[in-house]
Amino acid sequence: MQRIIPNLWFNHEAAQAAQFYADIFGGKVLSTFGEGPTNPDGEKQPLTAEWEVLGMRFVGINGGTDAEGNPVFVPNEAFSLEIDFDDQTELERVWHALIGDAGAPSECGWLKDHYGYAWQLVPTVLMECLQGPDAAGAERAWKVMMETSKVPLDGNKLRAAYAGQ
């Protein structure tokens, strides 16, 4: 049983976000609950939406906006979601799906989805390289990661850097 369930704050789009994440990861929306704020079209939205992806439950809370129409809370990189990938093709598929039309790529393989949440999509080889017995190889792999800008991390490039190629 999962005892820690991340709750993510949205203005009015928790149900849409739940479906967005479920579609990307092959998960499912479990429920919506209550009556929350209205969306820009004046339609009432649920207070919460619960979904499951990769065997993990999440809850989205529609918190609404303040009197001036600004979000009460805005996601930032102080909280990020990390996923390790054995398959580079799957990593890149998820990367592009999360960015979608309004997300933003960042440094070191990070990105923000169009809801503002930060993600780290990591090839499993990264930690193998960074924690490997070759200190110079680990430094080269670290450098590749640090120089990766606005594109997904590439496991093959990290492995090659570690090997000195």
Per-residue pLDDT at 38 = 85
Counting every residue, how long is the chain?
Answer: 165
DSSP helix/strand/coil, 19:
helix
Please tell me the distance from the alpha carbon of residue 145 to that of residue 154, in angstroms, as a whole number.
9
81-118 tens-digit pLDDT: 999 999 999 999 999 999 998 999 999 999 999 999 99
128-143 tens-digit pLDDT: 999 999 999 999 999 9
pTM for the whole structure: 0.92
pLDDT at 37 over 90: no
Per-residue pLDDT at 121 = 97
Structural domains in the chain plus CATH codes: 7-62 (3.10.180.10), 80-163 (3.10.180.10)
7-23 tens-digit pLDDT: 999 999 999 999 999 99
Per-residue pLDDT at 101 = 87
Which residues fall within 8 angstroms of residue 126, CB to CB, at 6 or more apart? 141, 145, 153, 155, 158
Q: Do 50 and 14 meet the contact criterion of CB atoms below 8 Å apart?
A: no
